[in-house]
Amino acid sequence: MSVAVTQARLDALEEAIATGVSEFTFDGQATKYRSLDEMYRARDFLLEKIKGASVANADNGVWFSDHDKGYS
């Protein structure tokens, strides 16, 4: 089964970490973590996947310019 990597999933996990809950349900799927360390690793995984997706969709800050000196 594949788990969708979304900002909403990351937000839910971060809320669980902040409130100290190790078991929660998101989008109808119950998840139970064994430790806070496991939750941090899952959060870091989601962050990297989301960051990678946003970089892949960005223009990477590359700009092209065209200069004209006005001579015809």
3-state SS string over the chain?
A: CCCCCCHHHHHHHHHHHHHCCCEEEECCEEEECCCHHHHHHHHHHHHHHHHHHHHHHCCCCCCCCCCCCCCC
At 13 the pLDDT is: 95
What pLDDT score does 5 carry?
Answer: 87
What pLDDT shows up at residue 33?
A: 95
So what's the pLDDT on residue 41?
96
* pLDDT given at position 65: 62
- Domain extent listing, the chain: 7-51
Tokens describing residue 30: 């119950």
Ranges under pLDDT 70 in the chain: 1-3, 54-67, 72
Q: What is the pLDDT of residue 60?
A: 55
